[in-house]
Amino acid sequence: MGYGSTGKLLRVDLTRGAISVETFDESFYRLYPGGKALAAYLLLREIKPGIDPLGPDNVLALINGMITGAPISTATRFTAAARSPLTGAYGESEAGGFWGPELKLAGWEGIIITGRAAQPVYLAIKNDQVEIRDARHLWGQEPEPVQTALRAALGDRLTRVLQIGIGGENTVRYAALINDLRHFNGRSGMGAVMGSKNLKAIAVRGTGKYSDFAHDPQAVAEIGRRIAKRVKEHPQSWDLQEKGTPGLVSGLNAGGILPTRNFHEGAFAGVDKIKWEVYEKELLSARRSCYACAVRCKREVKVDDRYQVSDAYGGPEYETIGGFGPNCGIDDLQAIAKANELCGRYTLDSISTSAVVAFAMECFEHGLITSEQTGGAAWRFGNAAAMLQIVDWIAHRQGIGDLLAEGTRRAAAAIGGDAPYFAMHVKGQELPMHEPRGKVGVGLGYAINEGGADHLTAFHDPMYANPNSITFKAAAELGVTDPLPPRELSPRKAEAYARLENWSSFGKVIGFCYFGPAPRSLIQVEEVVEAVRAASGWDFDKDELLRIGERATNLARVFNAREGLSRKDDTLPDRLFGPLENGALTGVSLSREEFETAMTALYRAKGWDPATARPTPERLEALGIGWAADLMN
């Protein structure tokens, strides 16, 4: 009888070409049950402060959640973590798909990758057989042929391939990892870290069963069956299956919170050309899923019209539509799908890439980037050809694309003038397509998240605004006592945010997708508790699950403190303290005073010192990680 884990980590030293096995016991795993928690623990243990994120001293940790690989919808995710080359801070990104579960079924809870190979290599894993192999013939190739080649090399078409394209090879600071050609560890530049190590891909085949590791496999399977049957019976999971995230565009526009023209505006005149109905008619070729997931929120697209878009790389999600669409002033959904395809082929984070495109367009419109630098093209908002050119130049580091590949913070510093004002980032990571002036708790999440701006840190404010809504009732289960207006930026908003952040962080530890558990979707809080108990055999209640999430966040925060980050880094771009133009929230801005007051309340709610933004030794001790306090001295 297991406790939900294989108990084994694979260690790969690329400098020496050495492979070894590291084991841990159940008591250790109870504290760090995978994903973000185990990754943050390993980074603190393995990485010395101040190392070059793109040098051999960085460590890339690929870690499954405890529940990852269970036959339960949305239990699919693994964490990729390292010191981020984009932010210099704790870097992390989760991906679904099939690679994480496959790694677990091969017997591995995760992989710790250190050093740097002298020449391109890939890792071949078939259960406990692991080899570092020559990848010189694959370097420079796109993910689709690489996946085909590696499946042939391992002699098994069910091999799952995690890899980088040229964005990662060229160490674009926001390069992503891609698995199965359509699932991404998008944020924080983990693809650049893998590229800097000369590691092209990790091909995995596992023939084990989750039941080999679970405490009560029958109970886990029964929970999985019960949840799968209910997907169509819950409005939110049904909606994810029907439309996926592209369904969000119209409503955000109506609410005045659809980021438009680099967060200048909150509504987009061309919204009817990029809404779900157009997506369904012009792009959609199939609905896809992750491992064992009945929600099936992934879209596949194929276009042979104004643009040719391959169906190999998956369809654009809301973030990508918002980013390359309204935020770049572009209303051609086929062009947006093409940009999404390029991000797949080059393995670029579509959030940061689209934000960099919007930044470059605004710089061009203000004369900070000239037509001499663009090859004569007018990089204006709304120019779809320019958008595709910029993405191409970034991936190849061509011309000024070389600077844009560094991210908005570095590019703005080099360009000078007003460019820093146009750089919409937190800690160096570009903003996702959610407007903090309309959802202030999302803004708190952008500001405080260790990896910079991220939309999956918070549960978005409208979810806990109406006391009779489905989402509020779920949030109340997690300890949110009062309904709060989405634009109320107050200490009580900060306290509610903190409570819910622990829940989103717990999901990143345990391996649940954001689109599984309530309040965002159908799996009720008590069912999550039940699933964790069945998988692990641990007598955890929901408060313990929230503590798991909190512990992980605190470890990441200690990592940042050690790198010298402080309260001044927990902020938002200046533009958000000015008024929104256009749309339902025209004229609305964030108040700096209210923001700082709420942040102080947020540090207090977390048990952190508001002056330093660091966890107090008492809080770390209460979370069972008192040892981490010494690392900040």
Partner 1 sequence: MRLHLGGHLNWYDPQKRARLEIPLAAPVPLSALLEQLHVPSAEVAILTINGRLTQLETALVSDTDRVEVYPAIGGGSR
Binding segment toward partner 1, per CB under 8 A, in 147-155, 244-252, 390-398, 595-603: 244-252
443 to 482: interface string for partner 1, x by CB under 8 A:
-----------------xxxx-xxxxxxx-----------
Give the whole-angstrom CA distance, residue 499 versus residue 104. 30
Q: Which is nearer to partner 1, 59 or 257 (CB)?
A: 257
Q: Site for partner 1 (CB under 8 A): which residue of 257, 390, 394, 404?
A: 257
Site size for partner 1 (CB under 8 A): 32
Q: What's the closest the beta carbon of residue 519 comes to partner 1, in angstroms?
A: 9
Q: Site for partner 1 (CB under 8 A): which residue of 382, 399, 420, 485?
A: 485
Task: Considering only residues 205 through 224, tell me which ones interact with partner 1, judged by CB under 8 A.
Answer: none
What the block records as the tokens of 372 is 């001499």
| CA dist list (Å): 139 to 121, 177, 200, 456 | 9, 15, 7, 32
Helix/strand/coil for 28:
helix
Q: Which is nearer to partner 1, 165 or 315 (CB)?
A: 315
Per the CB < 8 A criterion, the answer to whether 405 and 397 are in contact is yes
What the block records as the tokens of 170 is 């060229």
CA end-to-end distance (rounded Å), the chain: 42
Per the CB < 8 A criterion, the answer to whether 13 and 56 are in contact is no
Q: Which is nearer to partner 1, 466 or 612 (CB)?
A: 466
Looking at the DSSP assignment, which residues form a beta bridge with residue 111? 10, 62
Give the whole-angstrom CA distance, residue 108 versus residue 101. 10
Q: What's the closest the beta carbon of residue 438 comes to partner 1, in angstroms?
A: 5
47 Cβ contact list (under 8 Å, min separation 6)? 57, 58, 59, 82, 83, 559
User: Where are any strands of DSSP class E within 554-623?
Assistant: 608-609, 614-615
Q: Site for partner 1 (CB under 8 A): which residue of 10, 181, 202, 252?
A: 252
Q: What's the closest the beta carbon of residue 471 comes to partner 1, in angstroms?
A: 6
Q: Site for partner 1 (CB under 8 A): which residue of 191, 486, 516, 549?
A: 486
133 Cβ contact list (under 8 Å, min separation 6)? 121, 122, 123, 124, 153
Task: Considering only residues 493 through 552, tell me which ones interact with partner 1, judged by CB under 8 A.
Answer: 520
The H or E element spanning position 204 is strand 199-205
Q: Which is nearer to partner 1, 336 or 357 (CB)?
A: 336
Q: Which is nearer to partner 1, 131 or 277 (CB)?
A: 277
Q: Which is nearer to partner 1, 195 or 438 (CB)?
A: 438
Q: Which is nearer to partner 1, 466 or 589 (CB)?
A: 466
64 Cβ contact list (under 8 Å, min separation 6)? 34, 35, 78, 79, 100, 101, 103, 104, 108, 109, 110, 511
Give the whole-angstrom CA distance, residue 557 versus residue 77. 22
Q: What's the closest the beta carbon of residue 129 comes to partner 1, in angstroms?
A: 45
Q: Site for partner 1 (CB under 8 A): which residue of 17, 49, 235, 564?
A: 235
Check residue 236 for interaction with partner 1 (CB under 8 A): yes
Binding segment toward partner 1, per CB under 8 A, in 180-188, 255-263, 398-406, 410-418: 255-263
Q: Which residue from 352, 547, 309 is spatially nearest to 452, judged by alpha carbons?
A: 352
Binding segment toward partner 1, per CB under 8 A, in 89-97, 214-222, 231-239, 445-453: 231-239
Q: Site for partner 1 (CB under 8 A): which residue of 247, 441, 443, 511?
A: 247
Task: Considering only residues 402 through 441, tell me which ones interact with partner 1, judged by CB under 8 A.
Answer: 438-439
Q: Which is nearer to partner 1, 183 or 460 (CB)?
A: 460
Per the CB < 8 A criterion, the answer to whether 395 and 172 are in contact is yes
Check residue 323 for interaction with partner 1 (CB under 8 A): no
Helix/strand/coil for 274:
coil
Q: What's the closest the beta carbon of residue 469 comes to partner 1, in angstroms?
A: 5
**For the purposes of burial, counting CB atoms within 10 Å of the CB of 399, is it exposed (0-12), middle (13-18) or buried (19 or more)?**
middle
Binding segment toward partner 1, per CB under 8 A, in 175-183, 243-251, 319-327, 549-557: 243-251
Q: Site for partner 1 (CB under 8 A): which residue of 69, 195, 255, 507?
A: 255
Q: What's the closest the beta carbon of residue 487 comes to partner 1, in angstroms?
A: 8
Q: What's the closest the beta carbon of residue 448 comes to partner 1, in angstroms?
A: 21
Looking at the DSSP assignment, which residues form a beta bridge with residue 199? 121
Q: What's the closest the beta carbon of residue 244 comes to partner 1, in angstroms?
A: 11
Q: Site for partner 1 (CB under 8 A): which residue of 19, 584, 622, 632?
A: 584
Q: What's the closest the beta carbon of residue 632 comes to partner 1, in angstroms?
A: 38
Give the whole-angstrom CA distance, residue 26 versus residue 567. 36
| CA dist list (Å): 431 to 86, 322, 359, 606 | 13, 11, 11, 23
User: How many helices (H) and strands (E) would you count in the chain?
Assistant: 24, 20
Q: What's the closest the beta carbon of residue 587 comes to partner 1, in angstroms?
A: 13
Binding segment toward partner 1, per CB under 8 A, in 53-61, 207-215, 248-256, 386-394: 248-256
Between β-strands 121-126 and 199-205, what pairing exists: parallel, antiparallel or unpaired?
parallel
Contact residues: partner 1, CB under 8 A: 235-236, 238-239, 247-248, 250-252, 254-257, 318, 438-439, 460-463, 465-471, 485-486, 520, 584-585
